[in-house]
Structures are given as structure tokens and as C-alpha cells.
Amino acid sequence: MSARVLRQLRVHRDEVIACRRCDGVVGPSVIGPAMTSRIYALGQAPGPHEASKGRPFAHTAGRTLFSWTERIGVDEARYRERVYMAAVARCFPGKGKSGSKGDRLPSTDEIERCRPFIAREIALLRPELVIPIGRLAIAEVLGPFEKLEDVVGTSTRARFHDREVDVIPLPHPSGLSAWPKIEPGKTLLTRALELLAAHPTWRATFD
């Protein structure tokens, strides 16, 4: 990719960090480094630790995610160097309702306000492989679905923000989710990782 695209990504990153469009979130915005990649990983939203550290998947969920990629030969450092990491919502939404252990899901309005960021990234990066991580991200890429069993462990050709891409979903690596640890999630996660490892873009990126 050209130096011009990298410059545009740097400007874009500054704009995301400066964004203050949503009143109900806990800033600041979180975005990975400006980099070019043919792999676009889309998470749900940053948590409190990501917001304080200023990078995606910087805490417990990140440790789980990178333990998955290590199973197919890619550690955290290499992943961060070569995969563009984004999210459906760019700010920590805050904690859930009183008594809830999890974080609040981003609202429809918050998702819509961040969607132009995704569109711009897809237009600039022109990825070949999209990895949505978790229910919210998978629905953002593939549309509504009922069960994780229907999508995890599959590779789908889809049109995403006017670009044809291969989509290999992963479950969310949250410590609150048992789905990847029990059947059929355990087997389907393994299948999804095998699909990633065999994908030509993943192999070209990491081999």
C-alpha cells in the first residue's frame, strides 16, 4: 500500500481519538496504530483497561484472544504488528446495570456514530480477510443471526462496506463467556482457527 494511504490512516486515527460524539460512554476512544494490513479484525468495544492503556484487547480478553492465535503459530506481538485491530464502538460503554458483571453493550446510536469509522478503514485498507470477534461484531459484518453455532467455524464470502471479503468469525474471548470452553463451542473455535491458519491472506501475512 502507498505512503498516501498510511498518511490517511494516521489522520483517521487522530480523528477517532479526538471523537466525543457520544455522551453516555467513558472516553477516551481506543484505536490501534495506523498500519496497513489485508486482515481486519473487528471487536465489540473497549473495556476499562483498554481505555486506560489506549490499545485494543489489552487485558483479560486479549490474553485469551492471543492464546487462541498462539495455537496457530501467531503470538500477540506478531498479531499486533500485522493485523489492523478495530471495534464496532470505539469507546468504553461503561459497566452494565447494577449487579451485572459485564460491560454495557453499545447502544444502536453509539454503533451508528462509529460505523463511518469502519467504512473509512475498509475503504483505505481494502482488506481481504475480516475477523469479527464476538456477537456484536459478527452481526455488524454478516447481519443478524441466532446462534454462535451458526457462524463460528465457518468461512463466508460477504460484501462489507462495498468490498467483497472473506469472513471468519470468532467468539468473544471474554472471561464471562463459557461458550468457547464447552461443546460445541470448543470444537467450533478450533475449526475457526484452522480456517484462519489455512486462509491465503493469513498465510501470506504470517508465513
Q: pLDDT tens, 94-140?
A: 988 765 667 899 999 999 999 999 999 999 999 999 999 999 999 99
Q: What percent of the chain is modeled with pLDDT above 70? A: 98
Q: How far is residue 16's CA from residue 163's CA, in Å, rounded to a whole number?
A: 22
Per this entry, what is the length of the chain?
207
| pLDDT band at residue 176 using 50, 70 and 90 as cut-offs | confident
| pLDDT band at residue 74 using 50, 70 and 90 as cut-offs | very high
Q: Once rounded to an integer, what is the mean pLDDT over residues 55-83? A: 96
SS (H, E, C) the chain: CCHHHHHHHHHHHHHHHHCCCCCCCECCCCCCCCCCCCEEEEECCCCHHHHHHCCCCCCHHHHHHHHHHHCCCCCHHHHHHHCEEEECCCCECCECCCCCCCECCCCHHHHHHHHHHHHHHHHHHCCCEEEEECHHHHHHHHCCCCCHHHCCCCCEEEEECCEEEEECCECCCCCCCCHHHCCCHHHHHHHHHHHHHHCHHHHHHHC
| pLDDT band at residue 52 using 50, 70 and 90 as cut-offs | confident
Q: Once rounded to an integer, what is the mean pLDDT over residues 66-76? A: 98
How confident is the prediction for the chain on average, in pLDDT?
94
Give the pLDDT score at 1: 62
Give the pLDDT score at 99: 56
**Whether residue 11 has pLDDT greater than 90:** yes
Q: Once rounded to an integer, what is the mean pLDDT over residues 161-179? A: 94
- Which pLDDT tens digit goes with each residue over 21-38? 999 898 789 999 999 999
| pLDDT band at residue 195 using 50, 70 and 90 as cut-offs | very high
Give the pLDDT score at 100: 61
pTM: 0.95
Give the pLDDT score at 175: 79
